[in-house]
Amino acid sequence: MTADLLPAWDDAAGAARVRHLFAGTFEGEPEGVWAAPGRVNVVGEHTDYNGGLCLPVALPHRTFVAAVARPGTRRLRLVSAQEPGPPREIDLDDVGPVGTAGEVHGWAAYVAGVLWALEAEGLAAGLPGLDVAVDSCVPAGAGLSSSAALECAVVVAVDELAGLGLAGSVDAPDDAGRARLAAACVRAENEIAGAPTGGMDQAAALRARAGHALLLDCRDGQVEHVPLDLTVSGLELLVTDTRAEHRLVDGQYARRREVCEEAARRLGVPDLRTVADAVMGGETTLDEVLSRLADSEERARVRHVVTEIERVRLLVARLRDDPAGPLRGWSLNRVAETLDASHESLRDDYEVSSPELDLAVAAARGAGAHGARMTGGGFGGSTIALVEADAAGAVTTAVADAFGRAGLAAPGFLHATASDPAGRVRG
Ligand code: ADP
Ligand code: MG
């Protein structure tokens, strides 16, 4: 089977596409083009709502928006190449949270929600109407965060069009301002789109740095940029979009959250991060903590969260401490072990993997990957594999063949070079 490689659009290609859509839909010219990346998480899964750590990178795959303000109106007109049909029209004064009269249905909620949230957060007042055209090479629903890419492309456009001055530029980003924009995008997704997600996706899209992974502390929102230039090490981070339908995701996600919160209450701590810190600090052991939990489901979930937070610390230390450079000396095998251990923990203790995710991971490892794991929330979505750059083709073929033999739809592949955060695009 030939492997289906999903290329990332460069500035010129993305801008040309979205300008073309704008010109075919609205009158006049856009004031500019902005873009924001999807993301892939290297390690630290299901840790965000436990006050933990995660380590995403911004993908080279981005969502592009061409936009113009329509001062004197509060009218949003929205069109997307991924959502065929006439433009959506929404009055900003009519927008409200899910379950209220202002509920916005479908994809337009991700856009309208951003403007609503900027006003609700007090970051903007009386925003003007906008005409917005959207086009994207971030696959939607693949666990690569096309939703945050859309929100964050819109938020940097509005930041500039409405003169909020919070984002800075891609070359000179204002991180504190971007953290506030990210918080508004999270509110848009939670309250207007109705998706109960944590803050990793928006932080990655707005606060990542090219050539680096983003170490995000989900308790206080602090970030550190960890060098991760794989090309100098002759390596590549290969993403497989299994294209498997998400099953039972909503109830399962909420259930995992509840069990973690219940376990934290039982242990007398504000969150499981506190437990992870105590274990890593040598104040207690994981076995001692687990012995205080009677329920086997709770024990397994806690074991995943605590060890996963440890794995983020370990992986970052291994990247930083290798004297030969990140992944150039002894650290390569250690990082591979960490990725593999994360997958096993998500599969066996957290029980969020799926047959397709397990198959993609096994096939990549069998074809020589240095570690592979499911990434994102699970039950479908994507996997990552650390591969020698000159073996990437063989790994994609092996994974595609394994899917073919299992009678599954062909997966998609992306090269995940750590790329720029959201900002204005030239062209
Ligand atoms: P993920 O973020 O993992 O891709 P989500 O379910 O969170 O998956 O978000 C996918 C949804 O986001 C889509 O169903 C659509 O409503 C919206 N979306 C994402 N990208 C676009 C786009 N380019 N145009 C229109 N809507 C989009
Ligand atoms: Mg999403």
192 lines ligand 1 (CB under 6 A): no
Q: Name 45's Cβ contacts closer than 8 Å, sequence gap at least 6.
A: 54, 308, 342, 346, 350, 352, 374, 375, 376, 377, 378
Q: Which CATH architecture has domain 7-226?
A: 2-Layer Sandwich (3.30)
pLDDT tens for the chain, 427 residues long, are 667 999 999 999 999 999 999 999 999 999 999 999 999 999 999 999 999 999 999 999 999 999 999 999 999 999 999 999 999 999 999 999 999 999 999 999 999 999 999 999 999 999 999 999 999 999 999 999 999 999 999 999 999 999 999 999 989 999 999 999 999 999 999 999 998 888 999 999 999 999 999 999 999 999 999 999 899 899 999 999 999 876 556 688 889 999 999 999 999 999 999 999 999 999 999 999 999 999 999 999 999 999 999 999 999 999 999 888 888 888 999 999 999 999 999 999 999 999 999 999 999 999 999 999 999 999 999 999 999 999 999 999 999 999 999 999 999 999 999 999 999 998 7
Residues labelled as active-site residues: 201
Residues 161, 167, 173, CA angle at the centre, nearest 5°? 140
Kindly report the pTM of this predicted structure. 0.97
202 lines ligand 1 (CB under 6 A): no
Question: What is residue 276's predicted lDDT score, i.e. its pLDDT?
Answer: 98
110 lines ligand 1 (CB under 6 A): yes
Say how many Å lie between the CA of residue 189 and the centre of ligand 2: 8
Pocket perturbation via mutation, ligand 1, pick of 21, 41, 80, 146 by most ligand atoms within 8 A of CB: 146
Say how many Å lie between the CA of residue 140 and the centre of ligand 1: 5
CA-139 nearest atom, ligand 1: 4
Tokens encoding 373: 């794991």
Tokens encoding 231: 């090309």
Residue 53's φ and ψ, nearest 5 degrees, are -120, 150
195 lines ligand 1 (CB under 6 A): yes
The 3-state secondary structure of 180-236 reads HHHHHHHHHHHHHCCCCCCCHHHHHHHHCCCCEEEEEECCCCCEEEEECCHHHHCEE
List the chain domain ranges. 7-226
User: What residue's CA is closest to ligand 1, atom 8?
Assistant: 141
Region class of 384: left (phi > 0), else alpha (psi between -120 and 50), else beta: beta
Cα separation of the two ends of the chain:
37
Say how many Å lie between the CA of residue 366 and the centre of ligand 1: 32
Q: Which helix (H) or strand (E) holds 386?
A: strand 382-388
Which ligand does the CA of 138 lie closest to? 1
249 lines ligand 1 (CB under 6 A): no
ipTM value:
1.00
Question: What is residue 324's predicted lDDT score, i.e. its pLDDT?
Answer: 84
Question: What is residue 198's predicted lDDT score, i.e. its pLDDT?
Answer: 84
Contact (Cβ atoms closer than 8 angstroms) between residue 153 and residue 132: no
Say how many Å lie between the CA of residue 62 and the centre of ligand 2: 14
Question: What is residue 246's predicted lDDT score, i.e. its pLDDT?
Answer: 65
190 lines ligand 1 (CB under 6 A): no
